[in-house]
Amino acid sequence: MEISHDLDGHLDLLVEMEIAAAEAYLRFVYDDWEHARRIQRFLGEKGLLESSAPWGRVMMHEGHAIGAVSGIPGAELRKLRMRAAFALAKEPALRPDPPTQRRIKLAADALVAARDDDFYSSKLAVTERARGTGAGPALMDYVTEEARRGGFARIVGEVSAANERMLHVMCDKVGWDRIGEGSATCPDSGRSVTFVHVGRLFR
């Protein structure tokens, strides 16, 4: 297995991996799942996903992409999210309505607060065929070492509290720590979501 920063030809994979990794967030924010998927596709085509170049990495095995992970400095993360919000605001069919905007704000407050000297990585996903092969831990080990070499104070991310399998990978196999937790409840829809904040301190 090989990990590459070359994302050419992998848009479909990156969009599907991003959707899989962000499912809890997307289902909390959006009323319509297909609409949420269209938004992720639009952001992917615009290069505005957190796993878009230059922040995404793909794992290749025997000529096939089997997984992806993102790694982005905290300062760049805020800029990217702002650009994505502006891009959606310009598209009438994708622009969030007021209830969706409120849920976006609620969900954002539940995510880990990445500092400028943090390396942020929460978009990890592997294909069905790659599960159980060690691909997920290998991707996380790669991006963790990348953060260490880059001189960042820590690497951080979040995982849906309901995703016990991913928490097992990140905390038990890769060795990240649970550093906090954030929850959001929408009074209008009644939906709620909880994220476990995870990370590793380097200095």
Summary mean pLDDT of the chain: 94
For residue 127, pLDDT beyond 90: no
Picking from 112, 199, 102, 107, the residue whose alpha carbon sits closest to that of residue 152 is 199
Q: What is the mean pLDDT of residues 86-105?
A: 96
Q: What is the pLDDT of residue 48?
A: 97
Sign of CA dihedral 44, 48, 50, 55: positive
Q: Which pLDDT belongs to residue 66?
A: 87
Residue 80 has pLDDT above 80, yes or no: yes
Task: Give dist(CA 84, CA 72) in Å, integer.
Answer: 15
**Helix spans in the chain (H):** 11-21, 23-29, 33-45, 74-89, 98-110, 135-149, 164-167
Task: Convert 175-196 to b/e letters by CB count within 10 Å (16 or more is b).
Answer: ebeebeebebebeeeebebbbb
Is 124 a residue whose pLDDT tops 80? Answer: yes
194 contacts: CB under 8 Å, gap ≥ 6: 110, 160, 161, 162, 181, 182, 183, 184
Which whole number is the average pLDDT over 160-182? 93
- Say what angle helices 33-45 and 74-89 make with each other, to 10 degrees: 110
- What are 23-69's pLDDT values in tens digits? 999 999 999 999 999 999 999 999 999 999 999 999 998 888 888 99
3-state secondary structure of 126: strand
Which band of pLDDT confidence, cut at 50, 70 and 90, is reported for residue 203?
confident
- pLDDT at position 126 is 86
> Does the structure show a pLDDT above 80 at 122?
no
pLDDT at 133 over 80: no
Phi, psi of 76 (to 5 degrees): -75, -30
Residue 69: which of 94, 46, 52 has the closest Cα? 52
Q: How confident is the model over 144-165, as pLDDT tens digits?
A: 999 999 999 999 999 999 999 8
Structural domains in the chain? 2-201 (3.40.630.30)
Helix/strand/coil for 181: strand
pLDDT of residue 128: 79
Q: How many CB atoms lie within 10 A of CB 18?
A: 24
